[in-house]
A and B are shown apart, each in its own frame.
Chain A
Amino acid sequence: MRFVDEFRDPAAARRLVRTIDSLVDEDRRYQFMEVCGGHTHTIYRHGIEQLLPDQIELVHGPGCPVCVIPMGRVDDAIHVAEHEGLIFTSFGDMMRVPGSEGDNLLAAKARGADVRMVYSPLDALQVALDEPDREVVFFAVGFETTAPSTAVTLLKAQALGVRNFSVFCNHVTIVPPLRAILESPDLRLDGFIGPGHVSTVIGNRPYRFVPRDYGKPLVTAGFEPLDVLQSIEMLLRQLREGRCEVENQYTRIVRDEGNPQALAILARVFSLRPHFEWRGMGFISQSALQIGEDFATFDAERRYEVPGVRVADPKSCQCGEVLKGVIKPWECKVFGTACTPETPIGTCMVSSEGACAAYYNFGRLRHAAVPDDVTALPVA
Chain B
Amino acid sequence: MCLGIPGRIVEIVDPGQQRAIADVDGVRREISVSLLGLRQPDGSVTSTIEVDGSDAVTVDDWVLIHVGFAMSRIDEDEAAATLAALRAYGDPYQQEMEEYAADGTMDPLRMFADEVEWLAPDGAAASGPEPTMPDTHEAPAGRS
**Interfacial residues, chain A to chain B (CB-CB below 8 A):** 6, 8, 37-38, 41, 45, 64-66, 89, 91-93, 95-96, 98, 101-107, 109-112, 115-123, 126-127, 142, 145-146, 148-149, 152, 155-156, 159, 197, 200-201, 223-224, 252-253, 259-262, 264-265, 316, 334, 337-339, 342-345, 351-353, 361
Query: Which residue of the partner chain B has the closest CB to A345?
Result: B139
Whether the pair A110, B120 counts as a contact (CB closer than 8 A) is yes
- Asked if residues B134 and A343 are in contact (CB atoms below 8 Å), the reply is yes
User: In the complex, which residues of chain B have a beta carbon less than 8 angstroms from the beta carbon of A201?
Assistant: 71
Within 8 Å CB of A117, what residues of B? 99, 102, 105-108, 111
Asked, given contacts A110-B125, A252-B74, whether A342 binds B115 with beta carbons under 8 Å apart, the answer is: yes
Across-interface contacts of B48 in A (CB, < 8 A):
152, 155-156, 159
Asked if A92 and B108 make an inter-chain contact with CB atoms under 8 angstroms apart, the answer reads: yes
Cross-chain contact B71 with A110 (CB below 8 angstroms)? no
Contacts of B2 in A (CB 8 A): 37-38, 64-65, 93, 142, 145, 197, 351, 353
Cβ of B46 within 8 Å of any chain A Cβ, yes or no, is no
> A109-B108, A116-B107 are contacts. A121–B139 as well, Cβ < 8 Å?
no
Within 8 A of A (CB), among B43-75: 47-52, 55, 64, 66-69, 71-72, 74
Establish whether residues A118 and B84, one from each chain, have CB atoms under 8 Å apart when the complex forms: no
List the B side residues contacting A343 at CB < 8 Å: 134, 136-137, 139-140
Whether the Cβ atoms of B84 and A152 lie closer than 8 Å is no
B112 touches A103 (CB 8 A): no
Sample of 28 A–B contacts (CB below 8 Å):
A37-B2, A64-B2, A92-B106, A92-B108, A92-B111, A95-B112, A96-B112, A101-B140, A101-B143, A102-B141, A106-B115, A107-B131, A109-B126, A119-B67, A120-B31, A120-B68, A120-B69, A123-B104, A126-B104, A142-B1, A152-B34, A155-B48, A156-B48, A197-B2, A259-B71, A261-B52, A343-B137, A345-B139
